[in-house]
Amino acid sequence: MKLGDTVPNFTFETNLRKNQNLHSYIGDNWLMLFSHPADFTPVCTTELAELVRLAPEFNRRHVEILAISIDSSETHRFFNGGNNLPFEIIADTDRKICTELGMIDPDEQNSQGMCLSARAVMLFGPDRKLKSKILYPATFGRNFVEILRMVDGVQLGNKAPVATPVNWISGDNVIAQPSLSQKRVINELCGGDPNKCKVVPLPSGKRYFRVIVGDAYLQN
């Protein structure tokens, strides 16, 4: 899937329910589709535990979490022991969804010689379009602080014509998108106050690096 593509309306089964479809599942929320190789493996266990811990942070950002691996719904239920996970796990036993979304790791196989799912994160907006993705091999565990940072930055860019600089974290100043006219920067991002746009002096003398001080753009 490429950025901006609409996620297909897959029908799927999870540890909890059969015959769901992805578009209804998303509803008016964001969706983080989160693939992992298999339920009873050490790295996946650390990641799923971290996802349980951080689930309220995703909820606060209106992001539904939907995990997916190539295990069966029975295995997911066993792993889930008592249905206490704050998210559902898709049973993609035929690898249809993972294959179509490019979430397979060709280098890692299970005991039957079948490829495992990779460690992908796909963030879809309420419009069901792909806004961002991360793709790691099965052997490399993800950084959930970075995933939350990605959600924050992408949601911000979706709300206002801003961009976020290197190592930005929520609350830091943002940058006006380069294509935006100075008039729009002042009106739409600075609440009409030109002092809230600081142009960073550069050796080239060009005035493209415009930092927005404060968060007037969030009030719109």
Active site residues: 44
Near ligand BEZ by CB under 6 A: residue from 116, 122, 123, 189? 116
Verify binding: residue 48, ligand BEZ, rule CB under 6 A. no
Stretch that binds ligand BEZ, among 36-44, 123-131, 170-178, 199-207 (CB under 6 A): 36-44
Within 8 A by CB and 6+ apart from 172, the residues are 164, 165
In the bound complex, what is the minimum distance in angstroms from residue 47's beta carbon to ligand BEZ?
8
CB nearer ligand BEZ, residue 21 or residue 139: 139
Tokens 């909820």 found at: 59
Verify binding: residue 110, ligand BEZ, rule CB under 6 A. no
Near ligand BEZ by CB under 6 A: residue from 3, 19, 28, 42? 42
Q: Give just the sign of the alpha carbon dihedral 99, 105, 110, 114.
A: positive
Verify binding: residue 50, ligand BEZ, rule CB under 6 A. no
Dihedral class, residue 148 (left if φ above 0, else alpha if ψ from -120 to 50, else beta): alpha
Stretch that binds ligand BEZ, among 38-46, 64-72, 86-94, 166-174 (CB under 6 A): 38-46
3-state secondary structure 170-195: CCCCEEECCCCCHHHHHHHHCCCCHH
Near ligand BEZ by CB under 6 A: residue from 16, 43, 55, 163? 43
Strand order from edge to edge, sheet including 88-91: 88-91, 63-69, 30-35, 119-124, 130-136
Please give the biggest Cα pair distance in the chain. 64
Stretch that binds ligand BEZ, among 41-49, 59-67, 81-89, 175-183 (CB under 6 A): 41-49
**Of residues 131-150, which lie at the interface with ligand BEZ (CB under 6 A)?**
138-139
Secondary structure (3-state) at 18: coil
Near ligand BEZ by CB under 6 A: residue from 22, 26, 44, 150? 44
> Angle at which helices 42-60 and 144-159 pack, to 10 degrees?
30
